[in-house]
Structure 1
């Protein structure tokens, strides 16, 4: 990377980390805030969480096209302003209508920010540095969320609505910091996305092009299963199973969630060194197997109620294994989306994958919650184990459709170097020979 690209990337990553830090102040307490502090009830709190997902699903189909037409910078700034307004509105809201309006603005703003940041990271990286760039983003996101949640827990007081106003004010301020950070970035044109902002005519047919890309469609299906089987279960099915079947306390569940974050933060760069140079499809397939083991451990934890220590250790191990799998996906999936995208449709591809993720995060908790509510825990564990094995199968099938450069850009580049050096040597030899003949 050039010095300008590196400086731009560092600014983007710093703004993103601070935004995640602010987000951590409110995310763990949002349900409690709406239902208890504002006294709007649990059902309203559930609808507010659904509003986040719905607003994201509304804006994401259009965000990619705007990014590719106008560039990611103005879109990212607009997203941060909307998110900041929504966050501040949430802290000040006292009625249902105000809470829903604030949730819609916050959800839409965050949904806009995600693909724009991904596109900016693509612009500021090369195919061989992209995995590290996305791994760093994922690492900073989790570190920021964890630290924000830790500090937010020290400031929150359910008997004092003013304490929540402070939390949401901090979150809003961090969104604005992100907006300032990206607004002052000078985006270079990375070789992989040369001329990435097309004319209006060049941007037409973006969805048609994407849906005709068999590899991207397969990756979207794989991504949906991934987010459904892991992220979509944290706050619903898996949490219900842990409390109702494994019989752990809510405090121990908090330790398990902390183990997930710790596994990501501690393992991210160790895992990155291990997966770099390996085929991305094989890494994703391995994640499916790791998550299969995690779900089996969770299932076993519900079969040993008499050995509470063993059951607790198994469940905490489940969350830790999920974290290791997530740290393997962060340098793999997002860079692959970028490498599959035509240069003029980088934003469209990032937005489409964000839309798939949002759908999975909306459907996953609903399915997990319904099965848990019906007491169908055996069927639930069987379903998520099957989904994990499906991840492995889909990843291997995807690998057969990827080019060598898409599946393993580092090895492809290493193979090109000797060939290029050999070609240059041969050219020099031929030049010398012609010179000698001429003399």
Structure 2
């Protein structure tokens, strides 16, 4: 990595912190703000939370193509300004229509930021540095979310609507600071369309969506990603919460401790597991996460379905979140870099956006399925997600058979002093290598 690329990477990572800080600052308090402070009711609050997912699903299909045509920096600037307007508007919105529209702007803007920032990381890294770059991104995002939520909790006061206006105003300012920081980033020369996959003219002629859908390894990774996000992130604030309070009898205050254990596990473990991840095949690391999360769901099952004391149930429930955090720390330097290594140079933005879209779909479907099951069918709920976790291991090992050795373990390129190009190998070549 050149000095210029290193300077750009530091600014990009600072941007990741700012975007995460802004979200952590307000998102935990949206429900209370809409339902109680603005007195618009629980239904309106639920619609606002759903709008975040819907806005992302609407915006992301168009984001990747624009990133690849115009570059990630203009897209990031547009997304940041959109989010800033949405945050500022939320702070003064007093009607259902105004709140929903503001939430759509904020949700769409923050959703588009992620593939733009991820593409910028890809442009400023290579196969040897990309794993650590994405691990750093995930670490800083969680740190930003945690700090933002902590500071936000000290500002909000349900009896003073002005405190929430201040909260959203500060979030808008943070996004504007991010925009100013983005303007100082000097990215390397964008990859040229005519240089991407020169030996595969047919792929160049296809549309972006057809290329992604025709790339079997990427399709398998998207299926795996959906299961990953559905079985973990999609359950945090819905199914697992409902299960913990209903079946396990966990006090509501313990949920905050459990989330803190999750964040703490990520912060502590992120760089401890990095060397382990770098030495092993990505597919096997992801398979290991599936087994780890199966153990987490077993611990959750003991908390709600076992016959131990309440203290043991509470400890088991908190350990569930901590084990999820350890798995997340193993995934962050694995999955996102793999998306980049599979993408043709001219389609990095579209591949990142496609994977972000899969994530949003999982986050939309996960609560809808997990919430009712966790509350009303605790036994089947636990069994279902143990099976989903084991399915992660199976899907990861199957994906590993389709990857080239360097795609599966980038350290092999450094060991052999061969520079790996992040593009999908022709399917026949992959098949011949198995």
Q: TM-score, normalised by structure 2?
A: 0.92
Per the TM alignment, residue 184 of structure 1 is displaced from its structure 2 partner at its CA by: 1.8
Determine the C-alpha separation between the residues in 2 that align with 1:64 and 1:204. Answer: 15
Per-residue CA deviations over 1:8-63 (Å, capped at 9, x if unaligned) read 00001112202211221111111111111111111111111111111110111110
What is residue 260 of structure 1 aligned with on the other side? Answer: 262
| Normalised TM-score (structure 1) | 0.91
Unaligned runs of 5+ in 2: 197-202, 419-434
**Distance in 1 separating the partners of 2:296 and 2:158:** 35
- 1:353 paired residue among 345, 352, 355: 355
C-alpha displacement at 1:180, in angstroms? 1.6
Structure 1: gaps spanning 5 or more residues = 418-439
- SS of residue paired to 1:187: coil
Partner SS, residue 393 of structure 2? helix
Deviation per CA, 1:261-286, whole angstroms, max 9, x where unpaired? Answer: 00001110001121112100000000
Matches within 5 A, 1:24-423: 24-189=24-189, 194-195=191-192, 205-304=207-306, 306-373=308-375, 375-416=376-417
> 1:427 aligns to what?
none
The structure-2 alpha-carbon separation of the partners of 1:319 and 1:11, relative to structure 1 and needing over 3 Å to count, comes to: same
- Aligned counterparts of 2:7 and 2:115: Cα–Cα separation in 1: 20
Whether contact under 8 Å (1:247, 1:305) holds in the other structure is: no
1:140, distance to aligned residue in structure 2 (A) = 0.5
* Whole-Å separation in 2 of the counterparts to 1:221 and 1:171: 34
Q: Distance in 2 between matches of 1:76 and 1:155?
A: 28
Match of 1:435 in 2: none
Matches of 2:358 and 2:343, distance apart in 1: 16
Partner of 2:8: 8
How many aligned positions are there?
Answer: 413
Q: Is the 2:265–2:325 Cα contact (8 Å) retained in structure 1?
A: yes
CA deviation vs aligned residue, 1:290-322 (integer Å, no higher than 9, x gap): 000000000011134550111111111000000
In 1, Cα distance between equivalents of 2:39 and 2:307: 36
1:368-422 Cα distance to aligned partner (Å, 9 max, x none): 112234x1111111111111000000000000000011101112320236xxxxx
- Write the deviation string for residues 327-365 of structure 1: whole angstroms up to 9, x where unpaired: 000000000000000011000000000000000000001
8 Å contact kept, 2:240–2:371:
no
CA contact (8 A) 2:291 2:389 kept: yes
Q: Which residue of 1 aligns with 2:422?
A: none
Cα drift, residue 195 of structure 1 = 2.6
RMSD of Structure 2 on Structure 1 (CA): 1.7
Q: Does 1:19 align with 2:19?
A: yes
Q: Deviations over 1:101-137 (max 9, x none)?
A: 0011011101110100000000011111001111111
- Structure 1 pair 362–256 and aligned structure 2 pair: CA distance change class (3 A): same
Q: Please give the alpha-carbon distance, in whole angstroms, between the structure 2 residues aligned to 1:137 and 1:175.
A: 17
Deviation sequence 1:71-104 (CA, Å, 0-9, x none):
1110110000001111111111100000010011
Is contact 1:69–1:197 with CA below 8 Å preserved after alignment?
A: no
CA distance in 2, matches of 1:404, 1:304: 44
Displacement, 1:196? 6.1
Larger radius of gyration: 1
